[in-house]
């Protein structure tokens, strides 16, 4: 039986929330282990956990109010109106009505590689940016599929959600780096009374645990962040079908962008997860050592075909698209 986009949306929402809770748990566990290792007391562990949460909160506030402006500036995006980009504005306006969201600010990036992203803290403060390559290489149905996908990120509050997870992951990395750099200096400051009571053994164990967590937690949290990002892409694909009622335009757009050999110069490791498809191609030197921020193109296309009741890609098409994301 074909998967309905409503079932896919519900499933991906549940999985994304679980993954976000996992990242928050990693941050709390790391904070407690480091605090206990440095102070030798449970109260010290609780205090370090609260400090970690406070750092994450402050970072979240900064990103919440200024993160979108920073992303647009680093992407060299310029705002356009109906006179400068009539077809783009027309498609965006049409699909915002279908999606039931306010009209976002619309930007264009001067780059021949076809791609797009959405940013902002909520639907009322959203911006959508596309490349000139996307406008030149997509027909109207394909452009609708891409814009529908990005507006789905806005409507589903994906931007705020991924912002939260990103800040948590950054806080884990910051805390881990601090401990690995300075933990041995501060570790000697554990309570002498605690060691006299025989608690030094437990403190030493926590110190070892904290070192292990400081090494592994950033890797684990980044993997969870990537899993969240991939789930939200599946969700946005399904939501785009709901908005446009046309999976074929989105499917063709995915295939066309995946096989395009142009390099998106303005993309970076910090912003790659925002884009419609991974802007850093496998053949680029800057892709070395990167985990994938997006689901495989083959999987995304096959899910769209499942939604429309069509068979999956045949082996020839699968081979042509495999490894391009």
Tokens of 153: 């990120």
Tokens of 104: 């976002």
In terms of phi and psi (left: phi > 0; alpha: psi -120 to 50; beta: otherwise), the region of 129 is: beta
- Measuring CA to CA, which residue among 279, 260, 89, 55 is closest to residue 177? 55
Strands 77-79 and 116-120: unpaired
- Measuring CA to CA, which residue among 192, 83, 98 is closest to residue 154? 98
Element (H, E) at 27: helix 5-39
CA atoms within 13 A on the CB side of 182: 9
| Buried b / exposed e along 129-154 (16+ C-beta atoms within 10 A) | bbbebbbebbeebbbbbbbbbbbbbb
Tokens of 313: 């890609």
The backbone torsions φ and ψ at residue 42, rounded to the nearest 5 degrees and listed phi first, read: -65, -35
Strand segments, DSSP code E, in 94-184 are: 105-109, 116-120, 126-131
Question: What dihedral do alpha carbons 31, 34, 35, 37 form, nearest 10°?
Answer: 160
How far apart CA 26 and CA 168 sit, in angstroms, is 9
Catalytic residue status for 150: yes
Selecting among 136, 142, 150, 233, the annotated active-site residue is 150
| Number of helices (H), then strands (E), in the chain | 11, 4
User: Which residues are part of the catalytic machinery?
Assistant: 150
């Amino acid at each position: 039986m074909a998967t309905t986009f409503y079932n896919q949306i519900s499933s991906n929402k549940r999985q994304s929330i679980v993954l976000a809770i996992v990242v928050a748990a990693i941050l709390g566990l790391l904070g407690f282990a480091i605090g206990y290792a440095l102070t030798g007391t449970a109260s010290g562990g609780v205090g370090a956990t609260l400090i970690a949460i406070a750092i994450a909160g402050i970072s979240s506030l900064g990103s919440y109010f200024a993160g979108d402006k920073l992303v647009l500036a680093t992407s060299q995006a310029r705002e356009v109106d109906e006179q400068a980009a009539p077809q783009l504005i027309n498609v965006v306006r049409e699909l915002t009505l279908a999606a039931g969201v306010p009209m976002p600010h619309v930007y264009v990036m001067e780059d021949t590689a076809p791609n797009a992203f959405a940013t902002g803290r909520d639907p009322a403060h959203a911006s959508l940016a596309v490349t000139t390559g996307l406008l030149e290489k997509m027909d109207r149905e394909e452009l609708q599929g891409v814009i529908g996908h990005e507006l789905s990120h806005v409507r589903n509050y994906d931007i705020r959600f991924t912002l939260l997870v990103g800040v948590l992951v950054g806080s884990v990395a910051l805390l881990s780096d601090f401990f690995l750099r300075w933990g041995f200096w501060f570790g000697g400051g554990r309570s002498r009374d605690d060691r006299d009571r025989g608690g030094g053994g437990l403190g030493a164990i926590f110190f070892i645990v904290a070192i292990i967590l400081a090494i592994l937690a950033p890797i684990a949290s980044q993997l969870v962040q990537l899993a969240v990002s991939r789930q939200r892409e599946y969700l946005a694909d399904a939501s785009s079908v709901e908005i446009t009622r046309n999976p074929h335009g989105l499917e063709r757009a995915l295939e066309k962008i995946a096989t395009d050999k142009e390099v998106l110069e303005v993309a970076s490791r910090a912003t790659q997860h925002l884009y419609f498809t991974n802007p850093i191609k496998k053949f680029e030197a800057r892709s070395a050592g990167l985990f994938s921020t997006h689901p495989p193109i083959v999987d995304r296309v096959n899910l769209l075909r499942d939604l429309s009741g069509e068979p999956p890609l045949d082996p020839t098409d699968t081979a042509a698209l495999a490894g391009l994301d």
